[in-house]
Amino acid sequence: METIHKKDGRLHIYVRQDKYKGELKSHNWVGRTYINGKQKVVSSGTTNLEEAIPILEKWFDELQLQKTDNAEESPTNAPEDKAQLEQINNPQPNQPVKEVAKEPSAPKVDADMQKTQKNVAIGMLDKLKNLKLPNLRGLKNSSANNVSGQKSQKNKAKELFQKFFQSKVSKMSVAGEEIAGLDITKEAIRVAQVSQDKEENWILDKFSYRLLDQEKITENVLESKDYVAEEIALAMSNAKITSKNIALSIPVTSAIIRVVTSPLMTDEELQKAIETDSLWENLVQLTDNLNDYSIFHQVINRNSKNNTMDILFVASKLSDVNAYASIAKKAGLNPVIMDVRCFTLKNAHDNTKFKSINKNENSVILELGLDENYVMIIHNNIPIITDIFLRPQEKQHLLDVVNDQIPTEAEAVIRRYAMQIKQAITDYEAKYENKITSIQVVCSLKNISFLIPAFKKNLPTTGFFNFDPLQSVSVPSYNSDKIPNDNKSPIASVLGLAYRKLDVFGYYKFVTAVKNINLLPNRDAIRQQNKLKFLSGFAMKGVAGVVAGIYLLLIIFSYFQINSNNEKLMEFDQVQMEFDKLNIQFSKLAKKRREMQKSLDLGKMINSNQASSYRTLAQVTRSVPLRVNFTKISFDGEDNLIIEGMAFSDQDILNFISNLNAKSLIEQASLANMKVENSETTAGNNNKKGFVINCKLKAT
């Protein structure tokens, strides 16, 4: 592609030359220069060269002006800038953690080339910083900095509280999840589920495996989905695992694993840089289209002193991820975690107490087999992975070892294999100054007992041991018969998967990065679904807790209330006696009140307020026998008084009339009317007789 040099050869204007399937990734014109030994890159945003040149020259002039204003920068850097500008024409990616070990005869990179690659890496960091983080500049005045500092302190305190709360809730959610591990290999299907006792010791609750019929398995296990799915279903049934949520893994050969260094960013800034799709293009040089990969990343280290951070980058082809997930779905399972096999071994390693390894040494795991061959050195809890190269015929030679007498071809293969292991260990020891004396071997080959002595012969200063992932795991008696006694390493991967939990709240961000890897493309939706499920369950538990609390308070209140009532009941007899006495007095008073009220009622029937009327009414009242009741008394205002009432018998009426005639103020009392009335209010429903008596009063 054409490159145009501007500004005395210190500004490059060019079209980005990265290609995908023969086509340019971008047709925009890009400007690139060096300022104080650091690369600066910016896109013009246009495909028109005439429009791009003034935009990029203006950007270049502004950089030069900033350089002049900075007292720490020197103008003598111009020749160096030109030299570095020429070196950047063919950029190289950052050194990956996962490396394919080369054959011993491969030439080594000289010191000058290493220096050039280092400068290129620095240039890539500045390129990323300028491309993705244009707003990360300091405030222009000190007063603004003070305000920003205060806000920063508040935000930091808020962030610390949020992280503390999130870590606690996340730990609760992780502890309550139920996930089974599923390990799919060409040789067998293994499933497992673990739990923890009160002392947080692991227990292998459920475990089963199914050896696959090699006649039904092709070279690629993914091509036998129906058969493998049937075997998975049988293994789950034999293990009596009821959970449908499973964690499974993909081979290391199907994954890209690197630790890349980038400028220091916040989580929000990092997410924005990822959304533009250029972060990984600058940090990780992939041969295929980025959209063809399922990518997982996590920040594993932040270095504020150097203003950089390390990011764990794990990627796999979407086709491979979906193929393994589809097998599990065919078996009626719900894949919620997709890990990489090497990280499942590390997970098993983290939950195992090694008796044969010194605690001061870093651990090394070697996976040896027909499909996977790599060395994993665990340094400061971060795995450093080096692939071991084997040709197909060399793998077949390893199977030819059937006793202590190693065939010549197999011995040559083991010798080359051991040389690659030694090279990886030597590189590590030279870089970190840590000595490695032992290697834990994970291998499903039946002749591993003959292979390990052969490796020890080629590496006499290094010990080789079968990796035992069950050293600190309790195995119930019903599962002990399923575990081989001579070599337990093949179950390491499924055990590491069984330890996994679906981290919906980011709990493992507070622990370690490699426990959180999930390559499923729909992992965010799965996390959100389980987050809502947990929160709804958490809310229900909260409601249940509140209801239980209310009931507890009511029970406590009732307890004290019952005790108080029991104390009061002890005085019941005395209180009852006092009540009876008071009730008798009340009955007497009530009777007097009724008599008085009756008199008042009768008095209201008399309209006149003269003294003669009062005396007459008093005489009438004293004339009433016991078995006679008044209902009405009326007075015509002159000399006639009409009395209406009821009596039990004729004799009672006659007695009443006789009593009235005997009074001094009544001249004559006579019966005006009498009738029989039925009163349902009287006892026995006896018939009473109603009467009307006319009383003629004496003149006063």
Domain boundaries, the chain: 3-93, 356-467, 523-570, 605-697
pLDDT tens digits for 224-241?
A: 999 999 999 999 999 999
Residue 326 has pLDDT above 70, yes or no: yes
The pLDDT of residue 81 is 43
Lowest mean per-residue pLDDT among 252-266, 359-373, 606-620: 606-620
The pLDDT of residue 123 is 41
Residue 76 has pLDDT above 50, yes or no: no
**Mean pLDDT of all residues in 572-597:** 86
Residue 127 has pLDDT above 80, yes or no: no
**Mean pLDDT of all residues in 339-344:** 92
The pLDDT of residue 376 is 93
Q: Which amino acid, 203?
A: I
The larger pLDDT score, comparing residue 347 to residue 56, is at 347
Residue 408 has pLDDT above 50, yes or no: yes
The DSSP element (H or E) to which 551 belongs, if any, is helix 523-569
Counted residue by residue, the chain has a size of 700
Do the domains 605-697 and 356-467 match in fold?
no
The pLDDT of residue 227 is 94
**DSSP letter assigned to residue 467:** -
The pLDDT of residue 30 is 80
9: CB partners within 8 A, 6+ apart = 82, 85
Task: Return the HEC string of 285-303.
Answer: CCCCCHHHEEEEEEEEEEE
Which pLDDT band, with edges at 50, 70 and 90, does 247 fall under?
very high
Pairing of strands 308-317, 293-303: antiparallel
pLDDT tens digits for 108-123?
A: 333 343 443 444 334 4
Mean residue pLDDT of the chain comes to 77
Q: Mean pLDDT highest for which of 469-478, 560-569, 592-601?
A: 469-478
Record the pTM.
Answer: 0.55
Q: What is the CATH number of domain 356-467?
A: 3.30.420.40
Residue 78 CA to residue 36 CA, distance in Å, equals 8
Residue 517 CA to residue 312 CA, distance in Å, equals 10
CA trace torsion 362, 367, 373, 376 (10° rounding): -20
Residue 613 CA to residue 144 CA, distance in Å, equals 105
pLDDT tens digits for 143-192?
A: 445 545 555 666 666 666 555 555 554 544 444 467 899 999 999 999 99
Residue 179 CA to residue 344 CA, distance in Å, equals 14
The pLDDT of residue 162 is 57
Which pLDDT band, with edges at 50, 70 and 90, does 14 fall under?
low
**Mean pLDDT of all residues in 420-426:** 94
The pLDDT of residue 101 is 36
3-state secondary structure of 500: coil
DSSP annotation string for 411-439: HHHHHHHHHHHHHHHHHHHHHH-----EE
Q: What is the CATH number of domain 605-697?
A: 3.30.1360.100
pLDDT tens digits for 299-311?
A: 888 888 888 988 8
The DSSP element (H or E) to which 132 belongs, if any, is helix 111-132
Cα 71 from chain centroid? 51
Residue 44 has pLDDT above 60, yes or no: yes
Lowest mean per-residue pLDDT among 139-143, 204-208, 630-634: 139-143
